[in-house]
Amino acid sequence: MRKPENILHAAAARLDAVALACAIQRLALRPLGRDGLILTGTRGGVTVTVRVTGVGSRAVRTTALVEAAGAPVELSLRPELAGERLDKALGMTVDVEVGDAAFDARFVVEAAPAEAARKVLPPAARGALLAFPMDDESPRVRLGEGMASVTWAREPDPALLQHALTALGAIVEEARALHEGLRDVAPGHAFRQDAGDARKVDPREREAARSKLRGAKARAVVVIGSAVAAGVGFLATVILGHAA
């Protein structure tokens, strides 16, 4: 084998061993492009996919995915960057706090509807995510389009994969317990407030949250574009000044 093939082969053996240590019964393991691997298996009757990209490089990423069909809410989560409080104040970042000080300090959470974040991030999920090593990009969580995933910036090991599976299991369990309902939802609330039907999600509140997130991203683009334009203008002034 050539060197890249040797690296991928060794990574495949490691991935297989990690999956086995996490009680994942492998169904398939195959290459993913030139520097990636994808393993599909089952764990406790649930289909689990583990995808590794950038094998052998500093850009390695691992993603664990499980199905979340029927979940009527959306969620994304990423590490909070240094200095991002200003972005929040300017409306360029929308962050839903879940009431856990350690968790809220480390992560930016977006959800549609916003109240869903508190319901689908129970203590088990929060604890598992806090156990990951943090950098500017990971761990990241996505819930939507029938799937839930956790991504982190290194090859999988048994501890990290177990944390990912714990988080995903808790998130999906809570998300699947929710369902849509339009009846008599109080204004400004995403969920019915009566005891008998408190798990119904109002799709109107979900769409309002989506619009808020789109607006924040649009403001970020405008602010960044204006900053870039201002920087170019300043640079041009300096160059012209020197030329004169």
Domain count, the chain: 1
pLDDT at 187: 59
Q: What is the pLDDT of residue 189?
A: 59
Higher pLDDT, 214 or 104: 104
CA 78 to centroid of chain Cα atoms: 6
- pLDDT value of residue 95: 81
Q: Is the pLDDT of residue 196 over 60?
A: no
Q: pLDDT confidence of 242, banded at 50, 70, 90?
A: very low
In a domain, residue 38? The reply is: no
Instruction: Give a yes or no: residue 27 inside a domain.
Output: no
The pLDDT value recorded for residue 239 is 41
Q: Decide: pTM greater than 0.85.
A: no
- Residue 183 sits in which domain range? 60-243
Is 115 a residue whose pLDDT tops 90? no
Contact status, residue 140 vs residue 182, Cβ threshold 8 Å: no
**What mean pLDDT do residues 24-40 have?**
96
141 in a domain, yes or no?
A: yes
**Reported confidence tier of residue 238, pLDDT bands at 50, 70, 90:** very low
Average of per-residue pLDDT across 183-206: 58
What residues contact 111, with CB distance under 8 A and at least 6 apart? 73, 74, 75, 76, 96, 117, 120, 209
Report if residue 25 sits inside a domain: no
Pairing mode, strands 46-53 and 61-67: antiparallel
Is residue 23, in this structure, part of any structural domain at all?
Answer: no
Q: What is the arithmetic mean of pLDDT over 110-125?
A: 92
54 assigned to some structural domain: no
Q: 144 with 69: CB under 8 angstroms?
A: no
Whether 41 is in a domain gets the answer: no
Most confident of 165-179, 182-196, 203-217: 165-179
Instruction: Give the pLDDT confidence of 124-153 residue by residue, as tens digits.
Output: 999 999 999 988 889 999 999 999 999 999
Domain presence at residue 3: no
25-39, 144-158, 177-191, 215-229: which range is least confident on average?
A: 215-229
Regarding predicted confidence, which is higher, 3 or 139? Answer: 139
Mean pLDDT of 91-97: 73
Please, what is the average pLDDT of the chain?
82
Instruction: Check residue 220 and give its pLDDT.
Output: 52
Dig out the tokens for 80 from the structure.
Answer: 């909070």
